[in-house]
């Protein structure tokens, strides 16, 4: 399995296994952009081919029936139809949730860490099938056929054990370790900077 970051003007590849809709600071605005690219049709075709979709935070909100912003918190007040792949709806709320969470993935029983940073409350029948549990409470939603899921938890894939368990559900092995990879990259960057910059002088100037 390879990871492809889809840019504007590109169609969703027909051999996609899993489409991930990431978070956003403007759910309704980015939903309009998604539709302008024709990705709503691509995602519907992807599901017809037996593909899977995971929405994270704003991407989760887009997957529902409707995104309502009655107070105009992200732009002009109003409602925007969602993609309709999950039987849930979201209402934007003034309170922003910003919390680190310890969760357990409902499908595999694998614990992982993530964090919430969003406005909005999502409710609906598909909430009866949670993506995860946080302190025993249901979090996120899963569609009736199990191929569409949404969660408010960012950062879940940095957890090596969870990533491996999640990918195993699609018959795909997880390669490498995120934590070790990040440390190695940062160490390499530090060595590169030290070899090309007068770090001592920069630190002295910062003081």
Specify whether the CB–CB gap between 20 and 59 falls below 8 A. yes
CB-hemisphere CA count at 13 Å for 165?
Answer: 15
Which of 46, 105, 118, 154 is flagged as catalytic? 154
Short-list 61, 149, 148, 143, CA closest to 97: 61
Which of 46, 52, 57, 118 is flagged as catalytic? 57
Catalytic residue status for 57: yes
φ/ψ of 125, rounded to 5, equals -55, -35
- Residue 6: C-alpha distances to residues 21, 22, 170, 188 (Å): 10, 11, 21, 28
- Could you tell me which residues come within 8 angstroms of residue 118 by beta carbon, excluding any fewer than 6 positions away? 23, 57, 58, 96, 97, 152
Q: Cα separation of 14 and 205, whole Å?
A: 53
Q: Cα separation of 168 and 30, whole Å?
A: 30
Q: Which residue has the tokens 């403007």?
A: 26
Return the active site residues: 57, 154
């Amino acid at each position: 399995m390879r990871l492809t970051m889809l840019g504007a003007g590109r169609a969703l590849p027909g051999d996609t296994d899993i489409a991930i809709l990431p978070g956003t600071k403007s759910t309704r605005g980015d939903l309009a952009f998604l539709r302008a690219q024709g990705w709503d049709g691509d995602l519907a075709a992807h599901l017809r081919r037996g593909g899977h979709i995971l929405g994270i935070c704003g991407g989760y909100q887009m997957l529902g029936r409707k995104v309502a912003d009655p107070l105009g918190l992200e732009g002009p007040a109003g409602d925007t139809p969602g993609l309709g792949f999950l039987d849930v709806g979201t209402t934007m709320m003034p309170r922003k949730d910003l919390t680190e969470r310890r969760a357990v993935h409902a499908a595999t029983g694998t614990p992982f860490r993530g964090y919430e940073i969003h406005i909005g409350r999502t409710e609906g029948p598909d909430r009866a099938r949670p993506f995860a549990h946080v302190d025993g409470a249901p979090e996120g939603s899963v569609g009736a056929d199990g191929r569409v899921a949404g969660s408010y938890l960012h950062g879940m894939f940095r957890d090596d054990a969870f990533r491996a368990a999640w990918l195993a559900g699609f018959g795909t092995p997880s390669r490498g370790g995120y934590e070790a990879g990040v440390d190695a990259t940062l160490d390499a960057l530090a060595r590169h900077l030290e070899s090309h910059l007068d770090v001592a002088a920069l630190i002295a100037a910062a003081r």
